[in-house]
């Protein structure tokens, strides 16, 4: 078997870089689609429903980086819970991270937790999620945080 020349090796190297850059661009595009068609509608629907309980929400999307939902304490402008879906830098697939933050009272500091976003969902299936799937995940994290905050001895 003939050995690869250094020129062939160099050509393959630059081809590989092109493939990686293309994957990164596609991943950003897929994340934007996820935000527009799944996350934003989910955040809006959940926000509308939480208004019934006197709870304000707001969300923000940072281009190519994250989408963030903030939930306030009932009847207050003070933030209670944060749910942030993050696309890690240089991602070549939709292997997202989830950052949740919460405060036990209006004056306490935020507790932060980092984990994989919906670890049971593969990167290839993220765009197949429904807004209801996402709302259920947000509510699960929100309820868990609030129950823990209400029953914690610290």
Domain coordinates of the chain in residue numbers?
7-151
- In contact, 39 and 94? CB cutoff 8 Å: no
Give the confidence band of 41 by pLDDT, cuts at 50, 70, 90.
very high
Please state the pTM of the whole predicted model.
0.90
Range list of H helices, 52-151: 131-151
- In degrees and rounded to multiples of 5, residue 45 shows phi and psi of -65, -45
Burial of 33 (0-12, 13-18, 19+ CB in 10 A): middle
pLDDT digits (tens, 9 = 90+) for 60-104: 998 879 999 999 999 999 999 999 999 999 999 999 999 999 998
Task: Inform me whether the pLDDT recorded for 4 exceeds 80.
Answer: no
């Amino acid at each position: 078997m003939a050995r690869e020349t250094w020129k062939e090796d160099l050509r393959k190297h630059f081809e590989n870089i092109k493939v990686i850059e293309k994957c990164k661009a596609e991943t950003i595009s897929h994340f934007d689609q996820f935000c527009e068609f799944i996350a934003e509608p989910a955040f809006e629907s959940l926000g509308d429903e939480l208004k019934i309980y006197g709870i304000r929400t707001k969300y923000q999307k940072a281009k190519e980086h994250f989408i963030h939902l903030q939930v306030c304490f009932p009847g207050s402008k003070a933030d209670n819970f944060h749910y942030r879906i993050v696309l890690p830098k240089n991602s070549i697939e939709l292997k997202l991270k989830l950052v949740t933050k919460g405060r036990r009272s209006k004056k306490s500091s935020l507790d932060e937790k980092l984990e994989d976003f919906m670890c049971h969902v593969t990167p290839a299936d993220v765009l197949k999620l429904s807004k209801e799937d996402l709302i259920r995940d947000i509510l699960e994290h929100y309820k868990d945080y609030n129950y823990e905050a209400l029953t914690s001895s610290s």
